[in-house]
Amino acid sequence: DGSLIEYADHLVDAVRTQVGQGQALCALSGGVDSSVCAALVHRAIGEQLTCVFVDHGLMRAGEPEMVAELFGKHFGMNLISVDAADRFFAKLEGVDDPEHKRKIIGEEFIRVFEEEKAKLGKLDYLVQGTIYPDIVESDSDKGVVKSHHNVGGLPEDVDFELCEPVKYLYKDEVRKIGEYLGLPHELVWRQPFPGPGLGVRVVGALTRDRVRMVREADAIFREEIAAAGKESEIWQYFAVNPGCRSVGVSDGRRTYGDAIVLRAICSTDAMSADVADLDIAFLSRVSTRIATEVAGVNRVMYDTTPKPPSTIEWE
């Protein structure tokens, strides 16, 4: 759409004018908004931008590698990748309340980011991928079901300014601008993935092993959905470790392992959702793969509950 491309070029110019000769820093999550924002600001100011990617150890399979490959190698950005998994797992040990987990993950993320920021010295602009719905929703977040949003403004004692080039755009506009800027289709159109990552897809206290199970199961589910050509019909599809164990049998021997839940939903705005109509043969094939290929898992279930009364995520 021509006018959106013109607008994207205008945003690039506006960032160049705003930042001038300054130094900008962007926290890259691998999500759509921060990725598009980083690509836009990079086009505007190139070397003056540094991106920090904090790997909390709760990413999906292949994501940290994708970020390094795309932003570091392909775009040639100044990219600092921090493997902070040990820190996050240490802070989260024994914590089973979902909101407490979110809080810890959010705070630790900021702490790691602040440390990297301090190492870089003088910073003039902090780039944020705030989009228009973030602003609107955080204004109306009265009866919060889950704490999703990071729109809190800046503390008063900082000596840098915010650069939020996509803050008046809706998600589909951000995606189109991302494609115009040369981001890959899979990234730009990827399904929503919560900031706390797999941390809210393991019910209860996290262990590295339970996160591993969910990550491997999720990768198999995604692979099968893609192979079946169903990606575009389904809003979100993922695996959950619900924290229950059951008896199974493998090579004639009793096993006692973890169960995995598959969730696939159709939605337009994540406010309500219908269960994706996946056939039993497909689900059974995915289940068998997961229960045989993922060590420690011996049972797979499909969540058939719409939203409401359930939420999309289990936590």
Binding site, annotated residues for ATP: 29-35
Contacts of 91 (CB under 8 A, 6+ apart): 104, 108
Which amino acid is located at 160 in the chain?
Answer: F
- Minimum CB distance to ligand XMP, residue 274 (Å): 13
Q: Is 311 in the site for ligand XMP (CB under 6 A)?
A: yes
CB 236 within 8 A of CB 264: yes
Q: Is 218 in the site for ligand XMP (CB under 6 A)?
A: no
Range list of H helices, 121-170: 132-140
C-alpha distances out from residue 72 to 1, 129, 172, Å:
29, 19, 25
3-state secondary structure of 213: helix
3-state secondary structure of 305: coil
Which of positions 165-194 make contact with ligand XMP (CB under 6 A)? 192, 194
- Minimum CB distance to ligand XMP, residue 22 (Å): 29
Composition of the chain by helix, strand, coil, percent to 5: 45, 20, 35
Q: Is 103 in the site for ligand XMP (CB under 6 A)?
A: no
- Minimum CB distance to ligand XMP, residue 313 (Å): 3
Q: Is 313 in the site for ligand XMP (CB under 6 A)?
A: yes
Q: Is 312 in the site for ligand XMP (CB under 6 A)?
A: yes
Q: Is 280 in the site for ligand XMP (CB under 6 A)?
A: no
The single residue among 30, 57, 195, 257 that binds ligand XMP, judged by CB under 6 A, is 195
Q: Is 146 in the site for ligand XMP (CB under 6 A)?
A: yes
Q: Is 212 in the site for ligand XMP (CB under 6 A)?
A: no
The single residue among 43, 60, 101, 102 that binds ligand XMP, judged by CB under 6 A, is 102
Number of residues located near ligand XMP, criterion CB under 6 A: 15
Q: Is 90 in the site for ligand XMP (CB under 6 A)?
A: no
CB 165 within 8 A of CB 14: yes
CB 267 within 8 A of CB 171: no
String of DSSP letters for 84-114: -HHHHHHHHTT---HHHHHHHHHHHHHHHHH
Q: What's the CA gap between 301 and 259, in Å, rounded? A: 8
- Minimum CB distance to ligand XMP, residue 100 (Å): 12
Q: Is 270 in the site for ligand XMP (CB under 6 A)?
A: yes
CB 117 within 8 A of CB 23: no
- Minimum CB distance to ligand XMP, residue 201 (Å): 9
Q: Is 129 in the site for ligand XMP (CB under 6 A)?
A: no
The single residue among 87, 148, 212, 230 that binds ligand XMP, judged by CB under 6 A, is 148
- Residues at the interface with ligand XMP (CB under 6 A): 102, 145-146, 148, 192, 194-196, 200, 236, 270, 307, 311-313
